[in-house]
Amino acid sequence: MAPQPGDPAPDFTLKDQHGNEVSLSGLRGQTVVLYFYPKADTPGCTAQACGVRDHRADYQQADAVVLGVSPDAVKPIARFDEKYGLGFPLLSDEDHSVAEAYGVWVKKSRYGRTYMGNERTTFVIGPDGTVREVFRDVKPAEHAELVLGAL
C-alpha cells in the first residue's frame, strides 16, 4: 500500500545516472519531490522530466530536491539525462523494490498486453521525512506546475 500524507516515507538507497548512491535519509532537512515514471526517453516521461528541468529555479527557490525513479538501468537513464540536459538525479530501481515500497509497481495494460510497471506518481516528502502530498496518475505536461503549487 502506498504511503499516505502523514506517513513516514520509506527510506531507500539507489544509484543515480552517474552511479552515485542517493539515500532518502541523506536528504533529511530538505523537501524531496520523489516522482516515479515508467521508462526513460519515452514521450510522456520526457515531457515530465523536461518540465522539472525547465522549473529548476522554482524548485530551488522552494528548497526542494527532485528525484526521478524508474526501473531503467543506470546507462539508459544516463543517456536520457545527457540527451535532454536534465541535470537532476534520476535513480535506477531495476528490481523495483522502491516502487513496491511506495505502492506504485502496478499491473498495466497497453495494446492488449498486460505487464508490471511504475505508475506515474509523485510524493512530496517533508524535511522531517513524512509524506506531505501524493499525486497519482499525473499528466506529464502538468506535473511541474501541480507539484510546485504544493510546495
What local confidence, expressed as pLDDT, does residue 110 receive?
76
Q: Collapsing DSSP states into helix, strand and coil, what is residue 11?
A: coil
pLDDT(1) > 80: no
What local confidence, expressed as pLDDT, does residue 83 receive?
97
Q: Collapsing DSSP states into helix, strand and coil, what is residue 43?
A: helix
Residue range 59-68, pLDDT digits in tens = 999 999 999 9
Residue with cell 522539472: 52
Which class is domain 13-150? alpha beta
pLDDT, mean over the chain: 94
What is the percent of the chain where pLDDT is above 90?
81
What local confidence, expressed as pLDDT, does residue 112 receive?
82
Residue with cell 520526457: 46
Residues paired with 113 in a beta bridge: 110
What local confidence, expressed as pLDDT, does residue 113 receive?
85
What local confidence, expressed as pLDDT, does residue 70 receive?
96
Residue 45: active-site member: yes
Yes or no: say if 116 and 107 are a contact pair by the CB < 8 Å rule: yes
Give domain limits for the chain. 13-150
Residue range 108-134, pLDDT digits in tens = 887 888 888 899 999 999 999 999 999
CA distances from 148 to 69, 76, 134 (A): 18, 27, 13
Distance, CA of 6 to CA of 130 (rounded, Å): 6
pLDDT(86) > 80: yes
What local confidence, expressed as pLDDT, does residue 119 receive?
92
CB-neighbour burial class of residue 129 (10 A; exposed 0-12, middle 13-18, buried 19+) = middle
Residues 6+ apart with CB under 8 A from 106: 116, 117, 118, 119
Active-site residue, from 14, 40, 45, 91: 45
Q: How confident is the model at residue 145 (pLDDT cuts 50, 70, 90)?
A: confident
DSSP string for 71-135: S--HHHHHHHHHHHT--S-EEE-TT-HHHHHTT-EEEEEETTEEEEEE--EEEEE-TTSBEEEEE
Q: What is the pTM of this model?
A: 0.93
Nearest Cα neighbor of 44 from 111, 138, 134, 133 is: 138
